[in-house]
Chains A and B, each alone.
Chain A
C-alpha cells in the first residue's frame, strides 16, 4: 500500500462526512484592481466563517482553482485547519473558463477518489464558478466543461453556483453550466455578502446527513447580493 502522508491521515481520522467546495475563479486582466482585492478578501472571510462554525469546520474542504491565460490550482482540497489563506492574486491575461472548470472538476474527481479509497463519506460536491467576462480559451475545452458539468448535475453528483461579476459577465455562458437554476449576477463587488451566505449554506449542509435530500439552499439569503 502506498504510504499515507500526514494530510491523508487527517482525512480519515475525522469521521465527519465532507462537503467538498471547489472555487473556480476568474483572475483575468479585467479583474485587476478592486475586483480581485475584494474577491481575495471574500474568500478569506469565507475560510474564517467556516472555521468558526463547529459543524462546517469538520465538514468543509475547499479548493481554489484560478483561470486566466492558463489554469492553476491555488489551493488543493483541504480542511479549513490546513488550508492557507490566500495573500493576493495577480489578475492578468485572458479568460480560459472552460479549461478552468475542467481543472476544477479534475481536482474534484481526485479528491472524491481519495474519499472513496479511504472510506470517507461526502456530500454532493459544490462548484462555485465566478467570472466577470466571457470565455476566450479553447472552444472544445469549453464544450467539454459544459458537458461534464451538466452530466454531473443530471446525475445529482454536483451542485453549481455560477456567479457573474459586474455588467460584462457573459451570463448566457454561465447559464449553460446550470441547467436547473439561472446564474446569478453579483451586485457591485459584494463578495463578502456572497461568501457569508456560502459559509452559512455549508454549515447548514454539514448539519444534515449525506444522502438526506440536499437541504434547500436559503434563496432568501441571496436577495441582498444578487439579482436574478
Chain B
C-alpha cells in the first residue's frame, strides 16, 4: 500500500497492456486550460503503437460520448466565452474519437447500461471489473479521483485515477493532495449553495464528497487532521453508538445539509410492471431481472416480489422524482443492514437506465393500524398478549427509530401504516423513500403525528427537526400503549385534529390534575395502570403545562423509561395484577394495601376506593356497571338509586302533607293528619292550649315571656340586702328565694361556704361602721328593728321574726314594763349586733334560742304569717306607741 503522501507517475503505455484498461472522462476532452494544451495529443502519440500492436484500446464509455454530444450541440453564441471554448473542444473531441475508433484506438461501446451520471458509471465499472483488470481513469474531477483512489484502498485493487501531465504521461496525486483538494471543493460548493449561483447538482455533489471524504478519513485516519473545518468538522453531532451491540456501523448522514429545494418529477420512458425487465443497481453491481408478481399497490406505486427475502417498489409516474432518486442513492450506497428496517439496498431502473424504484428487504408482520390500534383486532390477533408485550413492541419500535436517528435519518411520516409488527413483537419500519435524509425532506405526513409547530406547513417545503420527530415518536408510543387512542382525544371537541394538537389539552387525569374532558370509555383505566414514570413523561410531553412540552424526550429517554416499565411489570413493585392487562376494567389500586375484590353480580375485579375523610377504603358491593342506573324522583327530580324510590318517588316525596301547615311530615301513627308542630298542647303555667311549634319549654308564649322576666330578676342583686361586713349588695333575689323556700337562714355577708370572703369584700373600718351602717340602713327603718333576730336569721322577714315582731307589738308594747324592755332592747341590741352579729358562735345559738322562743310564742297564738310593722313602730319609743298598737290590732283581724 502506498503512503498517503506519495505521488505516482505512469507511462500510459503501461496502462494499455492486455490486462489493463484505461478510461477517459468527459472533462479531459473539454479541458480548455492552456497549460494542458497538447496533453491528449501526446498521450495518444505515446500509446498508439502499443495499441496497434495488440494492446487494449482506450475506453471512452458511451455515456461520455453522450455528454460530449450534448455539449457539442449547444449554441456557443449564447454562452460565456470560457464555456463556448469548452463546447468547441467537445465538438472536436467527437470528430477525433470517431476517427480514433475507426483506427481501433478507442472503444466507445462500453458502459451503456444507462447510468444517468458518468461518475457513477465509472465507479460501478471499476468496482465490477477491477477484479479482472488493472484499471486507470483519466479525469480532472477531484471528486471522481477521490472516489476511485479510495476504492483502490478499500478493495485493495489495482486501480487509480489521475490526470495528464506534459509529455502524455499520467500522474496520480497523493491521497493527501486529493483529500486537500476535495475538502477545498466541498467548501466552495457549500458556499455556493447558499448563493443564487447554486446549481441543482450541487447538493448531490456535496453529498457525494462528504460521504467519500468521511470514508477516506475512516480508512486513513491520519488524513482527517488535514480536514479541519470541512466534512467531519462540520458535523455537530458525531454519532453515538446507540446500538451498543457491536453491529457494524455506517457513517451517519450530514445534519447540516440545506433544504434541497422543491422536488421535480423525472419523466421516464416507461414505468415497468410485472413481467417487464428492470436493472437492479446496487453497490455490488448491476443485475438485470424481470419484475415478478405484484404484491400490492399504494398511493405512490406498487410493490413486487423480488425474492423470498426482498421486494421491489416501483413508483408510479407521479412519484418518480429527483428527491426520491437522490435519497435512494444516498441510502443504498451505505449498505445498511439493520434487521427491522427496510433500507433501500439497490436502485431499480427501467431498461432505459431511468430511476423507477428500489430494492429492499421484505417486511414481516402487519401494520400497527391493523393489529394494535384497534382493540377488537388486537384481541383477535394476539389474544394472549399482556401489557408487557405492548411494552416490548414499544421498545422494539424505539430501537429501530433510534438506529435511524443515530444516522441522522428522520422518518418524518411516522404513522401506523408505516410500522409493522409480527407475532414475535418485532417491529419493522418501512417506507424508506419518504424519510428525510440530508437536504431531502419527507414530503408526506399525517396530521395526528405532527407537532403544533409543524401544523399548517406543507410537508414537501421544509426540513423537519429532531424535535418535530420526537412528537411523532411520543404519539406513536402512547398509541401503542393505549392501543390506538389519540393522545389529544377528549370530549367536547369538533373532531379538528390540528386544533386539538395546538390546544395541548391532554385530557387524561394525572396526579391531582383532574380533567373533565377525559374521553369516555375504558381508556382512562388503561391510562391509570400505566407505570408512573412513563405516565409522567407522557403527561409532561403532551400537556401544554408539562415540563417537556417544548423539549420533548429523546429516544434514549423513552428507551430508558420503557425498559424500566418492562422491569417494573415483572417486579414486586407491580402490586396490582390488573396492571398486566392490556384492557383493565377498573382504575389501578391506590397502594398494596388497597383491598381487591369482586363485584357480587358480575364478578369483575374491583379495588377499594380511598376515603380521605375516614382514612379507610370503601368497598361498594357492586361495580359501576352492575349498580342500577339512577332514576329521577317524580316529586323532587333528584337522581337516586331505584331502590330508594317507591312508586317513582323518593322517601321524602312519599310522605303525607300536614293539613294545617302543608309541610311533609313523618306520621307517628297512621291516620294522623297534622305534623308534630301543628298538634296543640296545654301550657304548663296557664293551661291554655297552643300549637306545639309556638310553645317553649311547655309554656305558651305569654307564660314563656313571664318566665324569662322572672328568671332575669332572680339573677339580679337584691340592693336592699347589704353585706354586713363590707356594706355592699351581695346576694341575688334568686338566692334569697332559695334560702327562704328551703327554710334556711339567708346569708348576711359575702362569706362563702368555705368560710372565706371574696377579695372584693373589704371590711368597713370599725370606727366608721356605726355611722356608715346607720347611713346605709337609715332610709329603711324596718331593718333597724329587732336587731338580734335579724342578725341571727339574716332577714327581717321570716316566720320567726314575724312572730317576735307580733309579740313585740301585741304583747310587750301593751304594758309599761314591756315598753321599757323594748326601749332598752332597741338601745343596746344594735351595739351587740355590731360587735358579734357576724360571728357564728353568736348567731347560731341565738338563732336556736330565738327559734325555740318564737315557736313557743307561735304555739301560744301569735301567727307566723308575714307581718308588716305599723308605721313608726320601729321606733316605738319616740312615737305614740298606743296609736301604733291600735292600728296594728285593727288590722290583725284581717290575717
Contacts and interface: CB of A to CB of B under 8 A. Distances in A.
A112 interface: yes
A116 B494 contact: yes
A116 B417 contact: no
B788 interface: no
Contact of B486 (A4, A8, A118, A121): A121
Contacts of A211: 447-448, 495-499
A121 B489 contact: yes
Contacts of A12: 519-521, 523
Interface string B482-498: 01111001111111111
A15 B486 contact: yes
B490 A119 contact: yes
Interface string B414-439: 01010000000000000000000000
Contacts of B521: 9, 12-13, 118-119
B483 A119 contact: no
A15 B375 contact: yes
Nearest to A119: B519
Interface in A62-119: 112, 115-119
A122 interface: yes
Interface string A1-25: 0011000110011111100000000
Contact of B629 (A3, A55, A209): A3
Contact of B447 (A14, A119, A212): A212
B520 A119 contact: yes
B160 to A, nearest CB: 54
B375 A123 contact: no
Contacts of B486: 15, 17, 121
A112 B518 CA distance: 17
B187 interface: no
A119 B495 contact: no
B447 A209 contact: yes
B517 A207 contact: no
Given A121-B497, A209-B448, A210-B497, A116 B520 contact: no
B35 interface: no
A119 B518 contact: yes
Contacts, number: 90
B376 A14 contact: yes
A15 B374 contact: yes
Interface residues on A, range: 20 to 34
A14 B374 contact: yes
A58 interface: yes
A58 B492 CA distance: 22
A119 B446 contact: no
B146 interface: no
A55 B519 contact: no
B519 A212 contact: no
B771 to A, nearest CB: 90
B370 A15 contact: no
Contacts of B376: 13-14
A32 interface: no
A16 B484 contact: yes
Contacts of B863: none
A4 B415 CA distance: 32
A15 B485 contact: yes
Given A15-B375, A58-B374, A116 B491 contact: yes
B522 interface: yes
A54 B373 contact: no
Contacts of A112: 494-495
A69 B616 CA distance: 64
Contacts of A9: 521
Interface residues on B, range: 35 or more
B507 interface: yes
Interface in B516-530: 517-523
A15 B520 contact: no
A120 interface: yes
A120 B370 contact: no
Given A15-B485, A115-B495, A118-B491, A55 B369 contact: yes
A14 B491 contact: no
A211 B497 CA distance: 5
The CB with the most chain B CB atoms within 10 A, among A12, A16, A119, A123, is that of: A119
A112 to B, nearest CB: 7
A209 B497 contact: yes
Given A117-B520, A209-B448, A17 B495 contact: yes
B478 to A, nearest CB: 11
Nearest to A81: B376
Contacts of B519: 12, 118-120
Nearest to A118: B520
B457 to A, nearest CB: 13
Contacts of B485: 15
A122 B724 CA distance: 99
A13 B376 CA distance: 8
Nearest to B494: A116
Nearest to A16: B374
A12 B485 CA distance: 10
Contact of B373 (A3, A4, A15, A119): A15
A119 B369 contact: no
Nearest to A210: B497
A116 B490 CA distance: 8
A142 B495 CA distance: 28
A120 B489 contact: yes
Contact of A117 (B417, B491, B499, B629): B491
Interface string B102-129: 0000000000000000000000000000
Contacts of B496: 210-211
A119 B497 CA distance: 12
A15 B484 contact: yes
B495 A123 contact: yes
A116 B489 CA distance: 10
B491 to A, nearest CB: 4
A21 to B, nearest CB: 15
Contacts of B415: 209
A211 B490 CA distance: 15
Contacts of B446: 208-209, 212
Interface string B783-808: 00000000000000000000000000
A58 B520 CA distance: 18
B584 to A, nearest CB: 14
Contacts of A117: 491-492, 520
A75 to B, nearest CB: 21
Contact of B489 (A119, A208, A212): A119
A116 B517 CA distance: 10
A14 to B, nearest CB: 7
Contacts of A58: 374
B639 to A, nearest CB: 10
A210 B494 CA distance: 11
A208 B483 CA distance: 18
Contacts of A208: 446
Most chain B CB within 10 A, of A3, A8, A12, A55, is at A12
A4 B491 CA distance: 15
A224 B182 CA distance: 60
Nearest to A2: B629
Nearest to A3: B629
B445 to A, nearest CB: 9
Contacts of A118: 491, 519-521
A207 B417 contact: yes
| Interchain residue pairs A-B with the least CB separation, the first 6 | A119-B519, A211-B497, A12-B521, A15-B484, A118-B520, A122-B495
27 contacts: A12-B519, A12-B520, A14-B374, A14-B375, A14-B376, A15-B373, A15-B374, A15-B484, A15-B486, A16-B373, A54-B370, A116-B491, A116-B493, A116-B495, A117-B491, A117-B520, A119-B490, A119-B493, A119-B507, A119-B518, A119-B519, A119-B521, A120-B489, A208-B446, A209-B447, A210-B495, A210-B496
Given A12-B521, A55-B369, A119-B507, 5 more contacts: A15-B375, A58-B374, A121-B489, A121-B493, A121-B497
Interface of B: 369-370, 373-376, 415, 417, 446-448, 483-486, 489-499, 507, 517-523, 629
